[in-house]
């Protein structure tokens, strides 16, 4: 009981430090608390509350302009009524396939007000993937951007379909949500649902059909406090979310913006220079990216970067794939000590967060567990490994998923869930991720994780990025094969790459082959698609 009370005290202190509890008029406080009691800690409550407290504050800015919290609140009331009138019922689910724009946010909030669950579809999916996922998840409705019309046609058959974004002059097969909202006359809120809807985010793994990870709305502000304890976001500031909103990292920043009443800056497509321009123009204090986006920004000419005023930027938050130590150092040398790196997964949400201090002290680290999070390294027998040794990473926090929508889940040992990775702690208690537990190869009787070699190669001054995989070998059982992208103009040779690894790592970790490429194949969240480098049998 004492530890629980202490935890609650820390949560309250962390939330207070963000400035979210700014005093407002007593009548507004009463109405805001009333919304929270009715809706619970949901997007519906957050936007209703922000509309009460800060009606004229900008809620979001995209290519179509700006919307205040008052406008988003009223528009999502209209959208919720339009969806209900079109046949979407409380307790049903709606699939959303939208890029980063107002339609994604408004559809999410409207479904929350309606009590519908939401399934987020990856905008990089091919038609067959969409069809398979929609068949498996069986949503009642589908909200999509018109550009995906052909991709969703088969999977959307027999479902109620709506278009969230349509470019001017383009004919749409299905009704525009904007038209349906304008046809509504009553912009008052619906009665709160009996149960809040769930969120289903698809795993962003690099093999197989994506699985749906179901997660209920949190029961408290503990999960938000956990992230705020490491990433110093502050209330009523401006965040640019460049990471895809359909992905757990982009969605996490949307979620964190709710209690903070943050202004969100959104762009439908990522462009490195346009991102810097938007950050500068709107004086964004936080930028959410996946590591490959950060790499693209740093690859801009120095004069291009210098042309944009980034002095307001206090946080660059990265997650979604591995952040090489060399990239972290380059970013902080250029932008200042503003980089934060979150390690987690769709299933466990988060495990550790590296602060700028962590990344300076130990580049490449995944950091330390935030408030309310437990991370343990276990062996194959489920016992904790001795300090300094590698083990399978298991995590416990308040936002672990409930299981895959198609059945099954991740391995759980005494309340801790597997991330599927192997790692070790350094003397300072910082976690390092050695690699996927299913990527370890045995070469000549020695265990090797490709991640260690990849991190080393990424530190080379002439190498932009690298991926290392295990391939069959008649003599050693398996051997390493490296795929390398060099920096512009580099004449790096295969022997030079092998020699560099040999100088820094054990002989059995030296790749037997090196293939030079123009770029590595990646999914929409920046993870390297190793199956495309070495197709499986």
Q: What share of the chain is helix, strand, coil (3-state, %, to 5)?
A: 35, 25, 40
- Structure confidence at residue 537 (pLDDT): 46
DSSP secondary structure letter of residue 459:
T
DSSP bridge partners of 367: 431
**Does 171 reside within a domain?**
yes
Among the three residues 146, 179, 197, which one is the final residue of a domain in this structure?
197
* Domain final residue pick, 165, 197, 229: 197
Q: From 69, 19, 65, 24, select the one nearest 46 (Cα to Cα).
A: 69
Q: Show pLDDT as tens, one digit a residue, over the chain (537 residues).
A: 567 888 889 988 998 999 988 888 888 888 888 888 888 889 999 999 999 999 999 999 999 999 999 999 999 999 999 999 999 999 999 999 999 999 999 999 999 999 999 999 999 888 888 999 999 999 999 999 999 999 999 999 999 999 999 998 888 899 999 999 999 999 999 999 999 999 888 876 544 567 787 767 777 788 889 999 999 999 999 999 999 999 989 999 999 999 999 999 999 999 999 999 999 999 999 999 999 899 999 999 999 999 999 999 999 999 988 888 989 999 999 999 999 999 998 888 899 999 999 999 999 999 999 999 999 999 988 999 988 899 999 999 888 777 787 777 788 899 999 998 999 999 999 999 988 887 788 776 777 888 889 889 988 989 988 999 888 877 777 889 999 999 887 889 999 999 999 999 888 889 999 999 999 998 877 788 888 887 654
Position 505 scores a pLDDT of 87
Give the side-chain half-sphere CA count within 13 A for 243. Answer: 28
The CB-side HSE value for 240 (13 A sphere, CA atoms) comes to: 30
CA distance 88 to 399: 27
Residue 427 inside a domain? The answer is no
Q: What is the count of structural domains for the chain?
A: 2
- Rounded distance between C-alpha atoms, residue 307 and residue 302, angstroms: 9
Q: Tell me the chain's radius of gyration from C-alpha atoms.
A: 24
Bridge partner residues of 446 (DSSP): 443
Amino acid 228: pLDDT: 94
| C-beta pairs of 134-138 under 8 Å, 24+ apart in sequence | 134/95, 134/159, 136/212, 136/405, 136/406, 137/93, 137/95, 137/200, 137/212, 137/405, 138/93
Residue 45 lies in a domain: yes
pLDDT for the residue numbered 205: 52
Asked if residue 27 is part of any domain, the answer here is yes
Within 10 angstroms of residue 228's Cβ, the number of other Cβ atoms is 23
Q: What is the CATH number of the domain that holds 508?
A: 3.30.300.30
Which residues share a beta bridge with 120? 96, 201
209 belongs to a structural domain: no
The pLDDT assigned to 82 comes to 97
**Rounded distance between C-alpha atoms, residue 213 and residue 247, angstroms:** 11
- Which of these three, 137, 166, 197, is where a domain ends? 197
Sheet with 463-473: strands ordered across: 463-473, 477-486, 513-516
- Residue 190: inside a domain, yes or no? yes
What's the CATH code of the domain at 32? 3.40.50.980
User: Cα(78)–Cα(335) distance, rounded to whole angstroms?
Assistant: 42
Largest CA distance in the chain: 77
Any domain includes 146:
yes
Owning domain of residue 191 = 22-197
Token representation of residue 412: 């759980």
What gap in Å lies between CA 407 and CA 452, rounded to an integer? 33
Question: What are the pLDDT digits (tens) for 370-392?
Answer: 999 999 999 988 999 988 899 99
Residue 263 within any structural domain of the chain: no
pTM confidence score: 0.87
By DSSP bridging, strand 477-486 and strand 513-516 are parallel
Under 8 Å between Cβ of 262 and 59: no
What is the dihedral angle through the alpha carbons of 63, 64, 67, 73, rounded to the nearest 10 degrees? -110
């Amino acid at each position: 009981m004492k530890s629980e009370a202490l935890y609650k005290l820390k949560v309250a202190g962390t939330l207070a430090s963000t400035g979210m509890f700014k005093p407002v008029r007593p009548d507004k406080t009463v109405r805001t608390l009333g919304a929270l009691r009715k809706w619970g800690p949901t997007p519906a409550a957050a936007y209703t509350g922000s509309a009460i407290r800060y009606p004229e504050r900008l809620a979001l800015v995209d290519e179509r302009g700006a919307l205040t919290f008052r406008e988003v609140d009223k528009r999502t009331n209209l959208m919720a009524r339009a969806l209900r009138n079109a046949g979407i019922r409380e307790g049903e689910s709606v699939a959303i396939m939208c890029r980063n724009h107002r339609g994604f946010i408004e559809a999410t909030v409207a479904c929350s007000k309606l009590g519908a669950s939401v399934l987020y579809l990856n905008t990089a999916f091919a038609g067959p993937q969409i069809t398979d996922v929609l068949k498996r998840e069986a949503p009642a409705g589908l909200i999509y951007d018109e550009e995906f019309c052909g991709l969703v046609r088969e999977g959307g058959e027999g479902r109620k379909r709506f278009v969230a974004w349509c470019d001017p002059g383009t004919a749409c097969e299905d009704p525009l949500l904007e038209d349906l909202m304008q046809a509504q006359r009553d912009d008052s809120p619906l009665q709160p649902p009996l149960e809040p809807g769930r969120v289903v985010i698809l795993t962003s793994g690099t093999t197989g059909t994506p699985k749906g990870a179901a997660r209920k709305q949190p029961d408290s502000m503990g999960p938000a406090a956990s992230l705020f304890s490491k990433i110093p976001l502050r209330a009523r500031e401006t965040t640019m979310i460049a990471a895809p909103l359909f992905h757990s990292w982009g969605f996490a920043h949307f979620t964190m913006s709710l209690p903070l009443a943050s202004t969100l800056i959104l762009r439908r497509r990522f462009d490195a220079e346009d991102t810097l321009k938007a950050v500068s123009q709107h004086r964004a204090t936080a930028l959410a990216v996946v590591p490959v986006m950060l790499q693209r920004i740093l690859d801009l000419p120095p004069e291009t970067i210098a042309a944009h005023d980034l002095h307001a930027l206090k946080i660059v938050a990265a997650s979604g794939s591995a952040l090489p130590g060399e990239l972290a150092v380059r970013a902080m040398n250029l932008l200042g000590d503003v980089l934060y790196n979150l390690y987690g997964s769709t299933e466990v949400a988060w495990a550790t967060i590296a602060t700028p201090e962590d990344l300076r002290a130990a580049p490449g680290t995944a950091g330390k567990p935030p408030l309310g999070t437990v991370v343990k390294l276990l062996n194959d027998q489920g016992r904790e490994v001795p300090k300094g040794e590698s083990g399978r990473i298991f995590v416990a926090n308040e936002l672990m998923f409930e299981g895959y929508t198609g059945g099954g889940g991740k391995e759980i040992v005494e309340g801790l869930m597997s991330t599927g990775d192997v790692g070790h702690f350094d003397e300072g208690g910082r976690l390092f991720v050695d690699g996927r537990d299913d990527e370890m190869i045995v070469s000549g009787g020695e265990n090797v994780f490709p991640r260690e070699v990849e991190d080393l190669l990424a530190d080379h001054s002439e190498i932009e990025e690298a991926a290392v995989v295990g391939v069959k070998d008649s003599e050693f059982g398996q051997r390493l094969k490296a795929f390398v992208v060099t920096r512009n103009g580099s004449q790096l040779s295969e022997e030079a790459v092998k020699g560099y690894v040999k100088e820094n790592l054990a002989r059995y970790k030296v790749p037997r082959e090196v293939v030079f490429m123009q770029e590595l194949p990646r999914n929409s969240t920046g993870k390297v698609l190793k199956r495309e480098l070495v197709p499986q049998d």
